[in-house]
Amino acid sequence: MGKIIRFIFFGNYFVGILAVALTIEATMQLRLPFNSVNYYLLLFLAPTIYYTYAYNKVSTNPSAINPRNKWYFKHKKFINWSQSILFILCMILAINLLYQNFSNILNLPFIYWIAIIIIIIAGGLYYGLLPKSFLNFNLRNTGWLKAFVIGFVWACCANVLPLIMLKIETGIGYHDSVLWTWLFIKNWMFCTVNAIIFDIKDYPTDANKHLRTFVVRYGLRKTIFNILIPLLVIGLISLGIFANYKGFAWPQVFCNVLPFILTIYVAYSMHKRKNILYYLMVIDGLILFKAICGITGMQFVR
């Protein structure tokens, strides 16, 4: 069981599940048709490959204090093989998507192309995956900005990419800008808070590298009580205001409140040291819990 858990979480397959879950939640909340199975498979594979490549790139030697680095070093041959296979599958799915919708892709409105370019650049810069000869800049090294960039990329994955693919596959656009904007900001802020909590894991390393994340700059206690909890409380208040404005039913509101309450509890508990699997299972698990609650809440919408 331990090997299976490490395979799922260290291998970043859970990240692929999160991407699909958030997308399904956003699609249901916007009351849009679902994208094709081809797209969901691609959405699962792409972040799995992306995160595994990024971690494998920095895990060049086993670390006595980092179980994930040790796992990557021990299974390096398997990771290289699996990355190759997953990349081939990803390319097949992408080519199939391109073949079936080539004319629609060419006819995408200009604003969609701008969104695609921004997402690609943000994703590439986050782990410094772009060639240094092209642009020697890594968003991870910007300290406090890192968490907001992570949240932005995940919000784009959940709220922007599905709309782009829906336009490509069906020609359907989306016009409720108020609801879309609120859901985008909610996902952005929730994933940003999640990333700040996750930075607590890297506190000693980031401090040694002089990377000025929130927890390095302000300390653990101030980060929890002056940043994390206030952001989550503001999220709860804005949720209540927007729910009243849109006339959400109380079961729907309750389902959307639960992830904020649970995240406040988890943030409060972070003053105690946790191991790497706790962060990967519980902290990232908050995003899956949010998606499940959002999907469940939509069952109460007439």
Listing DSSP states for 115-127 in one string gives HHHHHHHHHHHHT
Q: Measured between alpha carbons, how far is 164 from 159 in angstroms, rounded to an integer?
A: 9
Q: Which residue has the tokens 């009243």?
A: 244
Q: 198 near 213, Cβ under 8 Å?
A: no
Q: Confidence class of residue 206 from pLDDT cuts 50, 70 and 90?
A: low
Contacts of 98 (CB under 8 A, 6+ apart): 105
d(CA 302, CA 299): 8
Question: Cα-atom radius of gyration of the chain, to the nearest Å?
Answer: 20
What are the tokens at 53? 């490549």
Residue 238, strand partner residues:
none
Q: How many domains does the chain have?
A: 1
Strand partners of residue 66: 63
Give the residue numbers spanning the domain of 144. 2-300
Average pLDDT over residues 245-274: 86
Q: Is the full-model pTM beyond 0.75?
A: yes
Mean pLDDT over 88-103 rounds to: 93
Q: 126 - beta bridge partners?
A: none
pLDDT of 1-34, one tens digit each? Answer: 778 888 898 889 999 999 999 999 999 998 899 9
Angstrom distance (rounded) from CA 222 to CA 228: 9
Six-digit token string for 157: 């994955």
Question: Is-contact 202 63, C-beta < 8 A?
Answer: no
Grade residue 136 by pLDDT with cuts at 50, 70 and 90.
low
Residue 299 CA from chain centroid, whole number: 24
